[in-house]
Amino acid sequence: MPNTPQVEEPKGPMEIIPHEPVMRYQVKGYPLNSMDAFVVYCNGTEIYSLTTNNKTVVGAINELKALLDNIDLSDYATKEELDAYAKLTDLNNYVTLTEYNTTISQINAAITDLKSRMNSAESDIDTLQADVENIKKKLPNDPLFHVITVFTDPRYFTEKNFWGTFTTDNYVTFSYDINVIQDLQLEDGIIELLNLNFLRNVVLDLDKMPTHFYIPATVDFYDDNGVYTGSKHFMLDAEWTVEMNSYDLSVYFRGEIPDTNEYTTMKVSAVVPYTIKEGVTL
């Protein structure tokens, strides 16, 4: 039996390489029909940009349709929803620029009005404070507080009748009947008769008040039987002085009182003014 070469079956579909572009293949190994070949000819090589295996216009349309079918439209707004959104109904909860500017203007006006009211109130308060200060100035001050009155030299003068020492907010009043015990021996020409002591509960304005005064006094003379025989008038010196914690009003006598006996009496009454510093407290 002659040796003849054994024909091997092809391992795969035979690839036919076309000689002209129109002779492209749709399926590997099989030629296009005339209609497909015409479509391919019309579209040229652009048809191969499609991802579909069916390299035809219909295949491309079917591919696009499949993509659209697979889109989940629940993720997108409907026409009705878009229409409702287009109406901007939710923006009713927001202010417009005009409303905003109007509101800011109203707030600024309210602030201005409030500042005006505050300034007016401060002015009223200042006026009230001034009125209160004026009222306080018109109120009487606390008076000096009288502590004690002392007869400085009891060898010559002692108390006979005491009519009282009184103080107001601007003067001191006192009145005494004084026994003149013996003839005065005035080596220095002056002797302290009385010393009135006052508590320093207020501050005296010594720059605006006289500190030296003259007080009239009368000495009545009697005989040994107590019969009035006449009078003599003297002028006493009074002076304010400042001590550690008090004020003193000292009353001095100058002159001679002759022929004194147990009935000889000096009468002293005075109203002595003083001035308290305003606005100064202790």
pLDDT tens for 15-41 read 655 554 544 444 444 455 555 555 555
| Euclidean distance between CA atoms 241 and 274, whole angstroms | 12
Question: What is the reported pTM?
Answer: 0.51
Largest CA distance in the chain: 211
Contact 238, 213 (CB under 8 A): yes
DSSP 150: E
Contact 160, 177 (CB under 8 A): yes
pLDDT number for residue 29: 47
| Euclidean distance between CA atoms 259 and 268, whole angstroms | 20
Find the helix or strand (DSSP H, E) in which 175 lies. Answer: strand 171-180
| Euclidean distance between CA atoms 40 and 42, whole angstroms | 5
| Euclidean distance between CA atoms 84 and 203, whole angstroms | 87
Q: Please name which of 238, 246, 240, 250 lies closest in space to residue 198, comparing C-alpha atoms.
A: 246
Mean pLDDT, consecutive 10-residue segments, the chain of 282 residues?
Answer: 56 58 47 55 52 60 70 72 64 71 86 88 87 76 86 88 81 91 74 92 90 93 90 93 91 85 90 84 66
Q: Please name which of 162, 181, 151, 154 lies closest in space to residue 257, comparing C-alpha atoms.
A: 181
DSSP 151: E
Assign 104 to helix, strand or coil.
helix
pLDDT number for residue 22: 47
| Euclidean distance between CA atoms 33 and 153, whole angstroms | 162
The strand pair at 191-199 and 246-253 is best described as antiparallel
Q: Please name which of 181, 175, 249, 174 lies closest in space to residue 210, comparing C-alpha atoms.
A: 249
Q: Please name which of 6, 15, 29, 268 lies closest in space to residue 149, comparing C-alpha atoms.
A: 268
pLDDT number for residue 26: 45
Phi, psi of 7 (to 5 degrees): -80, 120
150 is written with which tokens? Answer: 């002392």
